[in-house]
Structure 1
Amino acid sequence: MMLQLNKHSFDLKRPLVMGILNITPDSFSDGGMYLDSNAALKRVDKMIEEGVDIIDIGGESTRPGSDPVSTDEELKRIVPIIEAIKKISDIAISIDTYKPEVMKEVIDMDVAMINDIFALQKPNAIDLLKKSNVGVCLMHMQGTPKTMQLNPTYKNVVSEVRSFLEERANLIANEGIDKSRIILDPGFGFGKTFEHNIELLQNIESFQSLNLPILVGLSRKSFIRKILNGDYDDHLSGSISAAILSVLKGAKILRVHDVKETQSAFKIIQVAQSMA
């Protein structure tokens, strides 16, 4: 399976690591850490050194209960770091945004991918993507970041999430966005209870029937900490364990805070599988 994100081609024979870079004051794990451009660039350098494949930049927190920020504020946060990264590296850059106005600006900056929690449902979002060569990640979310954890309800979370992603992927493919540019994300923690997240994790392999690469974002999620009795110090071991499980069940891209540790875990899997 090949993935084409603008000028970047990836052979998905091995899982890809997407490193998280939040340029926000209030993200759930690293809010406020990289608002300073020097700190952000140091973080980028470190992730590249550790073997990151894609860097996912976000200028608005989408943690449960978060409020949206203006388009101008989001662009003010992310544009300088995009420009700075492009001066030092040709690493694939993903932008975590759902606003078409932001998408337009960053597409013009030649980023590799748009990571959209609303799965291109905002007006004009599909038109912007189909006029470009940029890849897109379509995520499932019930509700909005402000409301999504108030009372998420499903009859069958796996089948409902899979049906939503299939419908969105088919719709945008019919609009002219080649499927080689599309990634699907079941949206762990976005409008799901603890039980919903566990059920999705148990059934990641069922999404392989959609014949598109699956991205999972499990890193430091609250349901992992709940399994570990709320011990934040254990978030790394819990996140790595969940990442390994998801890859063994067919996930192709892992969105993570801990690049080096995730890559090290993947190497063990690759060697073991190659000798099987």
Structure 2
Amino acid sequence: MSDGTSKMFFPEIISPVRRIGQREFDFDRQVAIMAIVNRTPNSFHDRGRTFELSRAVEAACGAVDEGADWIDIGGFAFSADQEPITVGEEIERVAPVIAEVRAKTDAVISVDTHRAEVAEAAVEAGADVINDTNGLREPGTARIAAETGAGVIITHSLGGPGKQVSRPTYGDVVAEVAAFLRERVRFALDCGVSADRIIIDPGHDLNKNTHHSLELTRRIDEIAAIGHPTLAALSNKDFIGETLDRPQGERKEGTIAANVVAILGGARILRVHDVPSTVAAVRMTEAVLGWRPPANPRHNLT
């Protein structure tokens, strides 16, 4: 008789049981849901809906009420076609949101930034994690993480935030992304960041075309095999829209499908815009894998 757990093989995770901020996660049998809150005037999905401070705080707290475990707060758009902002402007965008949200919830808070000064101000305001889409390449960011004890998310990108990369090419995108992440993990460890505070992200669509992002999704187990919890940031991205020929606002089903595939490949954190749909999809996936009991089992039991 089955013991109720999946016989699928999943890569071994370094320190799978982790306390991040005030919450504990068991990434051997749990998927964390990270909600996106952008304080940018024209972000690719919400087009500035949460740019105003009170709306950003409201969106963050609302996402926690809907089941998010984690809030990712950003003030600097990755795309090169956005207006550049100073370090001071970025701090003014993210630090007040972090401080207000920290006062209202015990959910994990990360700051989406590649700048050391912003990371430091964010941690002082209450952030638990530095989400660096530049892969800790800016001097000082890893040092801030090591000195403060903050977690880090190391993300792959060729050019980094605000840098245009025309027609990015790879010989083997998964192998090259994995090699980059392994090297940056070694760098973080050498800087004093403890292994149990490192998360990795292959960076879907960041200097990658749709074929690259589909390949990363299909072979995300090779990224998860690096050993650190893997974050999948797939929500509403262009590779989903181009695969299904769907514009922004019509990519929910594609996002859910890609997220479930990522979980089955070893991803353990999902960065998303639509929290309620993701919660339902994740809870169902966890139950099928035998990680979570049904919430209300009655069918043919009474």
Using structure 2 for the length normalisation, give the TM-score: 0.87
Displacement of 1:148 in angstroms is: 4.0
Greater Cα shift, 165-174 or 211-220? 165-174
Other structure's SS at 2:225 match: helix
Q: Which residue of 2 aligns with 1:217?
A: 233
Q: Which residue of 2 aligns with 1:183?
A: 199
Q: Is the Cα–Cα contact under 8 Å of residues 4 and 181 in structure 1 kept in the other structure?
A: no
Letter in 1 for 2:168: P
Distance in structure 2 (CA, Å) of the matches to 1:199 and 1:272: 25
Q: Which residue of 1 aligns with 2:278?
A: 262
Letter in 1 for 2:20: L
Q: Is the Cα–Cα contact under 8 Å of residues 94 and 122 in structure 2 kept in the other structure?
A: no
Other structure's SS at 1:101 match: helix
Deviations 1:87-138 (A, max 9, x none): 2222211000001111111122231100001111111112111111110000
Say yes or no: does 1:35 pair with 2:74. no
Distance in structure 2 (CA, Å) of the matches to 1:258 and 1:111: 22
Unaligned runs of 5+ in 2: 1-15, 294-302
Displacement of 1:149 in angstroms is: 4.4
**Pairing partner for 1:2 from 4, 12, 17:** 17
Distance in structure 2 (CA, Å) of the matches to 1:63 and 1:243: 23
Q: Is the Cα–Cα contact under 8 Å of residues 97 and 103 in structure 1 kept in the other structure?
A: yes
**Pairing partner for 1:60 from 76, 80, 89:** 76
Displacement of 1:7 in angstroms is: 4.5
Unaligned runs of 5+ in 1: none
Distance in structure 1 (CA, Å) of the matches to 2:272 and 2:85: 23
Other structure's SS at 1:232 match: coil
**Pairing partner for 1:155 from 160, 171, 190:** 171
Say yes or no: does 1:226 pair with 2:233. no
Q: Is the Cα–Cα contact under 8 Å of residues 174 and 219 in structure 2 kept in the other structure?
A: yes
Q: Is the Cα–Cα contact under 8 Å of residues 27 and 62 in structure 1 kept in the other structure?
A: no
Q: Matched residues, percent identical? A: 32
Note the 1:196-207 alignment, pairs <5 A: 196-207=212-223
**Pairing partner for 1:164 from 176, 180, 183:** 180
- In our comparison, the structure showing a higher alpha carbon Rg is 2
Q: Is the Cα–Cα contact under 8 Å of residues 65 and 145 in structure 1 kept in the other structure?
A: no
Displacement of 1:204 in angstroms is: 0.2
**Pairing partner for 1:120 from 124, 133, 136:** 136
Other structure's SS at 2:267 match: coil
Letter in 2 for 1:17: I
Deviations 1:161-187 (A, max 9, x none): 000001111121122211110000000
- Relative distance call for 1:260 and 1:57 in structure 2 (3 A) is same
- Relative distance call for 1:23 and 1:188 in structure 2 (3 A) is same
Q: Is the Cα–Cα contact under 8 Å of residues 6 and 133 in structure 1 kept in the other structure?
A: no
Q: Is the Cα–Cα contact under 8 Å of residues 95 and 113 in structure 1 kept in the other structure?
A: yes
Letter in 2 for 1:3: R
Q: Which residue of 2 aligns with 1:174?
A: 190
Letter in 1 for 2:142: I
Distance in structure 2 (CA, Å) of the matches to 1:59 and 1:25: 9
Other structure's SS at 1:66 match: coil
Q: Is the Cα–Cα contact under 8 Å of residues 141 and 148 in structure 1 kept in the other structure?
A: no
Say yes or no: does 1:81 pair with 2:81. no
Displacement of 1:146 in angstroms is: 3.7
Q: Which residue of 1 aligns with 2:120?
A: 104
- Relative distance call for 1:64 and 1:255 in structure 2 (3 A) is farther
Say yes or no: does 1:11 pair with 2:26. yes
Aligned length: 276
Q: Is the Cα–Cα contact under 8 Å of residues 22 and 31 in structure 1 kept in the other structure?
A: no
Greater Cα shift, 32-41 or 241-250? 32-41
Q: Which residue of 1 aligns with 2:148?
A: 132
Displacement of 1:2 in angstroms is: 2.2
Distance in structure 1 (CA, Å) of the matches to 2:167 and 2:73: 29
**Pairing partner for 2:264 from 228, 234, 248:** 248
Distance in structure 1 (CA, Å) of the matches to 2:117 and 2:171: 35
Displacement of 1:203 in angstroms is: 0.3
